[in-house]
Structures are given as C-alpha cells and as structure tokens.
Amino acid sequence: MPLYAAYGTNLDPARMSERCPHSPLHTTGWLTGWRLTFGGEEHGWDGALATIVEDPLEQVFVAVYDVTPEDEKLLDTWDSADTGLYRKTKVRVSTLTGELLVWTYVLDAYEGGLPSASYLGVLADAAEAADAPADYVAALRRRACRSTGL
C-alpha cells in the first residue's frame, strides 16, 4: 500500500480513522528539509491553509499511514486534491527505523497569510493527539494567527 504523510489536521488519528477507515497508522517521523507554513488565504474560509515548503534548516512532524486506494480517493476529496487546491508530491520521512518514501499534499497557492486562531488550535490539537513532541506542539500554539475569522 502507498504510504501517506499527514502534517496538518490529518495528524489526528481519530480524524484519519473517520476519513480513511481502512488505512492504519504505520509510524511517525519527520520531514527533514521542510517547514510548515500557510498560504492560499484567498481559498480558505477562515484564513490561510496549512502547507509545507522546502527549507533545509527545518523539519515537520508527520504521521505516516498505509493508505488503501479507496481511502486515497476519499482523502483526495477531503483535502481538495480532486479540485486542484492541493497536489500530491513525494517526500522522504525520517523515522526511528530508517527513511520512507511517501506522498503528501502541498498547497498549490502562494505562501503567505495567517491561519485563524481556531484552525491553528485544531492543528496543534491534532499534533498533540499524534504524540508529537511537546515543544513542537507548543511552537504551533505560539504561531501568529488571525484572532477572528474573515
């Protein structure tokens, strides 16, 4: 089965089990050489959307899932890949047992803008639910955000 790296709201195992009921958690790890950022503010209903961009000095915590073809189609719909808002890309994830080649979603929009406070809270809660390190979760909670919706 193809491996998928979740870095946003899909980090939450409960959310993933609802969205992709046939796709178990494989492991967690880090996208090294990437950073979490936000963009596409004009596409979000409540501020900018999560994405990743290459950055040799950063890393992003991810949960890796074994995704069935059926669940991949569902996930494409949930994450708006079927509309072109997000595109799939291959990345390498560093885990405790070695590197894995996986796919993930990258926003197909310009970087910039701020997420809403509520969206950022959901991202931080999802990272916490995935057992991300406490300092990673705390850094998410400290990020700049919109204090109100649009």
* Known binding residues: 119
d(CA 46, CA 150): 6
Q: Which two tokens stand for residue 125?
A: 């809660």
User: What is the three-class DSSP state of 25?
Assistant: strand
Residues marked as binding for substrate? 119
* Burial group, residue 144, by CB count within 10 angstroms (0-12, 13-18, 19+): exposed
